[in-house]
């Protein structure tokens, strides 16, 4: 069973879909948003190791290109932001294409910020993989990176086109990460 929370923001409205098994049907969930059957996915190393192939399978006929970044808060930085933007440009991501942020809050914030500024705003889908990301950072369009002066000081509000909160992904979290 999937619960749907509608975030009413006029032209920027989107849905947060919550339930088990959403990754397995990611293609059906994302396909209505696509102009062409291709997505660019950015994940952290841990999520990629555990779930990237399941996402690929769940996308079905949708082509997926992917980039993997190191896990951890240090990834929310200028160097990784630049790396993501350059990679998305190399993939020829256009304004009507979809970028997928596949990971916890770090990946969601970083990829959402890259989507906000790339070509003056491309669409993105959040697939949060931690409890905190599912209930907080994937919703509301808060995106950004950390800088020397402090956490989350560079960023933008950029609403996702869709959030797929697959609660089954939480089963692979270490108890400490789940409780965090």
Cα 129 to the center of its chain, rounded Å: 9
CA distance 124 to 141: 10
47-to-50, 75, 172 alpha-carbon distances in Å? 5, 14, 10
Under 8 Å between Cβ of 135 and 16: no
The answer to pTM > 0.75 is yes
> H helices of the chain, where?
26-30, 45-59, 78-90, 105-117, 131-132, 175-179
- With 80 as the cut, is the pLDDT of residue 180 above it? no
Tell me which residue of 55, 66, 46, 50 sits closest to 22, measured CA to CA: 55
pLDDT in tens, 112-140: 999 999 999 999 999 999 998 998 888 88
CA distance 128 to 108: 7
Torsion angle defined by CA atoms of residues 164, 142, 122 and 111, in that order, rounded to the nearest 10 degrees: -70
pLDDT in tens, 1-14: 899 999 999 989 99
CA distance 105 to 88: 19
């Amino acid at each position: 069973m999937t619960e749907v929370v509608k975030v009413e923001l006029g032209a920027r409205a989107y849905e947060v879909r919550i339930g088990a098994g959403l990754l397995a049907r990611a293609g059906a969930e994302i396909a209505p948003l696509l102009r062409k059957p291709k997505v660019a996915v950015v994940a952290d190393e841990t999520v990629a190791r555990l779930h990237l192939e399941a996402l690929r399978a769940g996308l079905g006929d949708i082509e997926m290109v992917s980039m993997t970044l190191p896990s951890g808060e240090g990834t929310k930085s200028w160097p990784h932001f630049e790396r993501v933007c350059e990679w998305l440009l190399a993939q020829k991501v256009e304004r009507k294409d979809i970028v997928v942020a596949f990971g916890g809050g770090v990946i969601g914030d970083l990829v959402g910020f890259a989507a906000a500024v790339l070509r003056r705003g491309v669409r993105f889908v959040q697939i949060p993989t931690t409890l905190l990301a599912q209930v907080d950072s994937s919703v509301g369009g808060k995106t950004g990176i950390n800088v020397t002066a402090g956490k989350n000081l560079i960023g933008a509000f950029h609403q996702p086109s869709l959030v797929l909160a697959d609660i089954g992904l939480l089963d692979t979290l270490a108890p400490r990460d789940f409780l965090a």
